[in-house]
Amino acid sequence: MFNFDGDFRPRRPQQNFGGASQKSDRLTIIRKAQQERQKREDARRQQNGATVIQSSVRSFVQRQAVKGRERDRFDEYRRTCGVRNLQDLEYLTKRIVFFYHGRNGKDGDRLIFLCQYVIKNPKEVFEAAATQPMWTYRIKKLLGLCLQQIFVPEHSPTIPMRMLEIYSSNAYVGKYIPEEPTTGTASSSRTYLEAIFCYLIRQKYFRIVRRLIEEKIPPVDEDTTTIPNPIAEALLQMLLRPLKLLPTANETFNASILQSFSFHILSPDFSAQIKHYIVPALAASTDFPYISLVRFIAEEYQGRLDYQNTILVDIDDEMDGGGVTAESTPVSKKARKNPDQESLQLSSSLLYSVMKLGENQFDKINTEELYSAYVKVLSSMVSNLTKLPRLALVTYQPRQDDSSDSESDSEDVPMLTNCENQTLSEVIAMLNDNQRVSYVVSFIDNILDKPEVVQHLCLICHNLMTYNRLAVYQYKLLYMLASKPQFVRSLWYTLTAQTASQGFSSPISLLSKGLTISKYDSDRIVPILASFCALFGRLIATLHDGEFCQENVLPGTVSKIMPFTIPEIIPLSTTLKEISLGLVELAFPETRSSLKDSYRTMLTSLNNESTSHFRLKCDPNEQSKNVWPHLLKVCVSLLRQIHTRDLRRTFCPDGHWTAQNLNLPLDKPTDLHLSRRRGPRPFQPIRDFTREDVEDGPPLSTKQIRSITILREIPFVVAFNTRVGVFQGLVAADKLRTQGDLQGFLQGPSIQLTVRRSHLYEDAFDKLSPMNEPDLRPKFRIEMVNSAGMREAGIDGGGVFREFLSELLKTAFDPHRGFFMITKDNMLYPNPSVGKIVEDYQRHYYFIGRILGKALYENLLVELPLAEFFLSKLAGKHSDVDIHQLASLDPVLHRNLMSLKAYEGDVADLGLDFTIVCDELGETRVEELKPNGANITVSSSNRLEYIQLMADFKLNKQIRSQCLAFRQGLANVLPIEWLYMFSNKELQVLISGAEIPVDVHDLRQNTRYGGDFTLEHNTIQLFWKVVEEFDDIQRRQLLKFVTSCSRPPLLGFKDLDPPFCIQNAGDTDRLPSASTCMNLLKLPAFEKEDMLREKLLYAIQSGAGFELS
């Protein structure tokens, strides 16, 4: 219980006036004890530190005193006795080795004094060294002092350099010390020199020689082997002396020499003397051990890889809490130690040096083992090319996206010195010189079964391609490798073999599922996959369809130009499709992972315990900005090429290209902003939302970005009907914005137009020009004037407009008007000679493009048989098409060019040159395919160029301005990006409808009835019976009569707007009539089947206009 005493205020604080307590609590005592212990520890450390410092000082003072006394003894002995024999030399050498200091000028005098005697008496010194190892020790000590003395400014370097020249040169040593030990000698000339240079290398021999080169040799501006000055030859020989010992020396000696030589001479940034004189001079020298250098770098690189893998194992073991350890993993000895500060630097300079030094050594790299080492060395350093800024697209790229922006606008480029930039540019040139490429390609057939060599070769190709997006077209190394079908085949089976052995945990399987892979797997798989896609894409681009399908290859034989058969292409394309979809998922990751960690761990650990060592994941978005986007690009490019072949030859089964279970929001096409100016870049961080993006709407979700990417890059993996739905949804959303929601009540913005039937095209061209009507998206209200000059009766509710648009397009595309011609297959394409008919023809093509865009915008099907190559120009991202489309324009010319390509005789005998004869309305003129083409004969070496130029002229050059104006007009009505979702054949279906029979059952299910008509009415029953008995032509005539279009809607009659409707027209003496604006058939209530059939056929075949109603 609580008692209330009347005081409602809070309890007041209690105060104690008794003073501070004299008792210390437990924590205070512990804290004081710790502080006292810390003070005692600090005092001990200070005492020990003082003792060490005092000891060091006393030692230094004592040593200096001893050295001073030894200097006095040296000077005294020198004054009194001098150097008369080896005993005197020995006495003085012992002392100078002890007290010499480079900063002491008098020590330099003493050293030079001794060296003068040693130089004058080499015979007795060498003889002593041959019999007494101690003298070898003294000589190398003296040489070490000479290295220090060279840069003492008070003295000339002549005596020390002469000392080094005599006592480290095989030419001098060989005179006095035999090559092999004898009974009277303790060492040979080889062991003597090895001992000398082992010591000198530890004294930074090569660093000192490099400094001498850069100080004593004047800089040169270009490569030369001519001696710039007298000392240059001596310094070059100083470099070569230890290198000459390598062929006969042991492995340890070789490694130490090459390590120091590479570290100090080849790896650092070049000076003019090193790059332009030393490296060319070494390359020209027959004594340079190039093979030893290649083997050394290859072993060092492999050791470094093993060391990195060991680190991965240790990290993974720590993450897993035990399991495999570094000690249980078989790695090389070099991998078990952390590289020291002079470890090999795989720099741009070293890469250049290796390539320059090997220009004349290819005849020596004549075994598979040496070839493998050489390729490994190049691949180990070729990643330096990524330091270069990506090469700008300043040249023509085949089938380049006309509307795409640069991928590297905002890339962070590392800062390079001018020297390194120039060096890497020269490396690229050397990688593609004829001799090197011929050597690399000559060994290809011998290494196809060696995955490691194939991987290193792919790494070279991959780095070239990530630097230059046109590398596969411009670099000889790449297109020569692409011309090797068996090599391309081996790349694919290198990938698939691993997939077969590792199952669901293989890197390819993980990529296909959109899962990240380990850094170890990424470094191995990505270069091979990217190289395969780029090289195979380059190869098949040069093959015509017959070669691709191996039509002329006998059963049981292997094609010499095509790596895969058609049955192999089908599963290959399936895998590429899955990889491409997985890369899209990786390119735009979810903010939060939708997969549980346990599921990811399970996938990465299945079936292969050995690969569990490398479960350390690499995030593609955190790696190189070029590697993963390039991989996505080449995978998608190859997949599109195979799909395009399938469109022409149809070798894949139905439904092959459609991806199942796509988790994309395609049911809401209004959310897909396909025409955004600044979309997210794949594998790049999300950009900040700027004011420029506000006009395009709110930021896109991850699923929206993925959907847009798929519809832009590989739309064929989405079912055609789904894409049509997306297109129609986008159009419907745009209509709502431009036309408003009152169009059904004939209200809202509209374009009022009166045209004469007899001058339909002329009136429309004038009144719908961009000056009069800049925007054709609002509704049209058409009023037609007949041949009598009278306005036709009725209000345009949509039917008059559809007839107007249909007839206008037929008139515009009529070959007799001159804007279009027909191929031998009666397909339409722009007239190359239209300039002879109409001066301002671009305006007409722009207008016709707008009208076709309006038909697509209004979902009006128009029967226009357009040529396949022309459709490709409209549906593709690329305004130019290649030779594979020539058959749709001129099959005879295409066949002749293919025969020329396969011609085995002398092409020059055919008398062809780089010209083409053009016939324009009876006028003949000769057009040159290239500058001075009339004087260039077509030969076996340039016939491929002739074929490409001929096809480009016929398909692109002579109708480029027409097609450009047409595309611009089309894009004026609807964004051209919306058409990228469709292939050329699909665009034809979108324009004209599918060539499929009219589905009477579907029409019946989606028909409505007016008046007293119902489905059970006798007249309706007779109507459907008669229609079912119609042939397909008569059914199309019925559709044309009621809807003004003879083809059914793309997605079925459920999408016909307004719906197909039948209404009772009353008196049976009348003919059936129609209101096409309402898709309404006015059918009298016929009671007899014969009468209904007769009058219905008469009506639909009469070809009457709208006044029939």
Token pair 């004969």 in the structure block, residue? 937
Contact in structure between 764 and 808 (CB atoms under 8 Å): yes
CB proximity list for 234: less than 8 A, separation 6 or greater: 161, 165
Residue 566: other Cβ atoms inside 10 A: 15
Rounded CA gap, 945 and 989, in Å? 35
End-to-end Cα spacing for the chain: 101
Cα-flanking dihedrals φ and ψ of residue 144, to 5°?
Answer: -60, -40
Catalytic residue among 115, 963, 1045, 1077: 1077
CA distances from 801 to 666, 779, 989, 1101 (A): 31, 9, 21, 21
Residue 860: other Cβ atoms inside 10 A: 19
Contact in structure between 880 and 956 (CB atoms under 8 Å): yes
Contact in structure between 866 and 815 (CB atoms under 8 Å): no
Rounded CA gap, 33 and 31, in Å? 5
Instruction: Answer yes or no: 146 catalytic.
Output: no
CB proximity list for 352: less than 8 A, separation 6 or greater: 270, 275, 279, 423, 424, 426, 427, 430
Contact in structure between 574 and 656 (CB atoms under 8 Å): yes
Residue 581: other Cβ atoms inside 10 A: 23
Contact in structure between 190 and 181 (CB atoms under 8 Å): no
CB proximity list for 497: less than 8 A, separation 6 or greater: 451
CA angle, 1015 then 1016 then 1018, to 5°? 110
Rounded CA gap, 71 and 64, in Å? 10
Residue 974: other Cβ atoms inside 10 A: 20
Give the residue among 288, 234, 214, 216 at the shortest CA–CA distance from 257.
288
CA distances from 233 to 213, 228, 237, 238, 839 (A): 10, 9, 6, 9, 74
Token pair 């490798």 in the structure block, residue? 481
Question: How many helices and strands (H and E) does the chain possess?
Answer: 43, 10
* 846 three-class SS: helix
Element (DSSP H or E) covering residue 926? strand 923-928
Rounded CA gap, 757 and 763, in Å? 9
Element (DSSP H or E) covering residue 756? strand 750-756
Rounded CA gap, 387 and 694, in Å? 35
3-state secondary structure 522-561: HHHHHHHHHHHHHHHHHHHHCCCHHHHCCCCCCCCCCCCC
Rounded CA gap, 458 and 477, in Å? 11
Rounded CA gap, 139 and 964, in Å? 82
832-839, long-range: CB within 8 Å, 24+ apart, which pairs?
832/918, 832/920, 832/958, 832/959, 832/962, 833/920, 833/921, 834/962, 836/920, 836/921, 836/923, 837/921
CA distances from 762 to 587, 645, 832, 847 (A): 51, 41, 22, 11
Give the residue among 635, 501, 659, 632 at the shortest CA–CA distance from 572.
635
Give the residue among 598, 600, 620, 472 at the shortest CA–CA distance from 534.
472
Token pair 């079964």 in the structure block, residue? 449
Q: Which residues are catalytic?
A: 1077
